[in-house]
Structure 1
Amino acid sequence: MSVEIELCGVRVRYGPLEALHGIDLPVPSATVTVLTGRNGAGRTTALRVLAGTVPPTAGRTLWRGADVTRMPAHERARRGLCLVPDRRAVFTSLSVAENLELAPGDPADALAAYPELSRLLDRAAGTLSGGERRMLAVSRALSAPGRVVLVDEPVLGMSPGVAARTHRLLAGLARSAGAAVVLAEQRVPSGLPPGTLVHGLRRGSLAFSGEAAEFTRR
């Protein structure tokens, strides 16, 4: 399996606190990679460094071997990187329909993934429940999948059935579109495809790296 994007010896400091302690994090193409750990473990920071929204204090980000450490987030987005953050992932003052229209791709694909949104098209996104907002945010990534898809807390607030569907849809991006899909989760979701990789983070360091089956046997 080829590495699509990776962190090499990355450190990130927020003032006096170091959030990542020199981690190496390879992300293969056509694969689901899960970053797991408790709050404060460094999962979100790792995603943000990959996306270019947080600069590393030390280390490099490589995309297909090319150093993109200094490449701004908007340029990475143009090259096919999609980040769905855990917060502020939708435009709350706009309607659901307007949010979908702003996303690249066909809004019909987003509604096929989440038909629940069809009855909410005229609603302001800020009035949606937490689970509905997550559906809207993730649907935008699904309607126009990129080469690298980063999703922080993808199923936050969703019902179990919708959460399971969301994981299937995201896994489908890796399987059918060949995308490198990275999910930041507090625990490893069930039902992900064989070959799913897991990186367990603890206090800014990698405590485990391997396949999901190995992680669940620990």
Structure 2
Amino acid sequence: MAGETRAGGRGPAFDVTDFPRPPAVKNTRALFAILGPAVIALGGTIGGGEWLVGPSLFVKWGLGLLWITTVSSLLQTFLNLEMCRYTLYTGEPITLGFMRLGPGKAFWGWVFTIAGFFERALPGWALGAATAVAAFQLGRIPGAADRPTVVTWGLIVFASCVVLMFFGRTIERTLEWANWIMMFVVLGGLLLLDLYLVPASVWWEGIK
């Protein structure tokens, strides 16, 4: 009931209250504003060059590897649903939920900081995107001999991200626009290319 509290693990107690009203979608602009954070997350998954390097592995090793994509997508769906439910019920992101677990936020704070550094702070994503750019330049997937080209593009991509952050009005708004453009170009472009270049027999093999 409203006004009550519930134990919150190693963190402060949760206040019990009613759910807030969902945001009203009055027009297309409001809809895009609501979808903005999701677009940033989606852009993070396709912006590292996986959309090019991943399919190249299927070309090399066969469509039998699609079972990995199916299993990982299914597990990711359940994970995302549970994280969404936690945020809806508590009003806080899942990372704060982990801080409520033992042995406490002093431990989990360092764990997430170190893990986040290795995942995002290192220029691995920039080099992943650079691999895709270099592939367009070379007309093939870069190999070990193409390392200087990939590193050069990686530096350009990394510097471009820094410039993008400086010239945007707000970081979140800038990321939203950049990821909307990337989504339409990458996903739309790949769909058109697939429909134009991939024969029906290959589509059927992938479905089977």
Is TM-score (shorter-chain normalized) higher than 0.5?
no
Which category describes the TM-score, using the shorter chain as reference length? under 0.3
User: Which protein has the bigger strand share?
Assistant: 1
Greater relative contact order (Cα < 8 A, sep 6+): 1
TM-score by length of 2: 0.23
User: Which protein has the bigger helix share?
Assistant: 2
